[in-house]
Copies of this chain bind each other. A is one copy, B any other.
Amino acid sequence: MLLPLLALVQVITSAPPVYDGRQGQLAIRVPRVAAPVPLDAPLDAFVPAIASGRGAPRHHVLHAPGTAGFDDVYDNFFPQASSQWDSLGHVGYGPDAFYNGATGDDVANGRRNTVEHWARHGIAGRGVVLDLVRTMADAGRPYEIGTSATFGVDDLERARERAGVEFRPGDILLLHTGFAAWYMAQAPGERYRVARAMSTPGIASGEEMCRYLWDAHVAAVACDTFAVEAFPPAFGEPPPGGFLHRMLIGQFGMALGELWWLEDLAADCAEDGVAEVFLVSAPLHAPGGIGSPPNAVAIK
């Protein structure tokens, strides 16, 4: 296969980026050649799907015996059954109150807030890895992954400091909780229990968290857990508490990513001490799409 040749001639890699002073110019010094780190789990990684109603796609390989060709097709492909971006049409602040004034009808008919709007631009920017697994272990506060373990602002701050980074506007936060890997490693019986209970770790809801994320002006929060926020939330509580999606998507217009595969990236960051990456993501160009696989790689 010829693609390995790419590994020898990486155009761009980076150690901590060095700003070279000229206005609008940024030089990226490359101390080593590295391969991109993919961040999508397999399409069928989460079986059973944690959200009822979703499931792994049904894949048909098409082949006429005796010929030299194959084709394929997918049915029952839920973009949110595995690693995903939530579009701005996935959750609103309230019924008929979606981000930036879009109505339920706008979303249902793919006029506004759906995923193709991101696909037409692509996503490329600075990713910052906050490794909650290692941070909480170092702090002597390990947590049980198959529960609604909750990370507050102070925990995120601890992780940010451990990562040695400052937030910049437009950052994409990558939160490593360990959930995806843990879920995939459980026996079917335990996975069914977790799926039924939908108890998964994540960040806290409430005003403090909302202010923290807004003030950082992060463009997106992606993670390897089910819902970004600890789940299940207190659905009945009013915002800015309760279901945090209503604020982050419905009010802030943040891109939320869930069930990403962050084990390899987190291990790499632990090894070289570098927690910032060039994050590139090309969501499916899906008209009217509500979710999409991230189709994301981290380059560092």
Contacts and interface: CB of A to CB of B under 8 A. Distances in A.
A297 B63 contact: no
A58 interface: yes
Interface stretch (A93-101, A152-160, A202-210): A93-101
A5 B169 contact: yes
B12 A12 contact: yes
Interface string A91-133: 1111111111000100110100000101111111110000000
A97 to B, nearest CB: 7
B282 A281 contact: yes
Contacts of A68: 91-98, 104, 246, 250
A57 B207 CA distance: 41
Interface stretch (A76-84, A139-147, A222-230): A76-84
Nearest to A55: B53
Contacts of A120: 38
User: Chain A interface mostly helix, strand, loop or mixed?
Assistant: loop
Contact of A170 (B8, B89, B169, B280): B8
Interface residues of A, number: 123
Contact of A290 (B9, B71, B93, B119): B71
A54 interface: yes
Given A11-B17, A54-B71, A72-B289, 19 more contacts: A2-B219, A3-B118, A3-B219, A5-B219, A24-B32, A27-B28, A28-B28, A38-B121, A38-B285, A53-B55, A61-B108, A66-B95, A68-B92, A68-B97, A69-B91, A70-B290, A74-B75, A74-B77, A75-B76
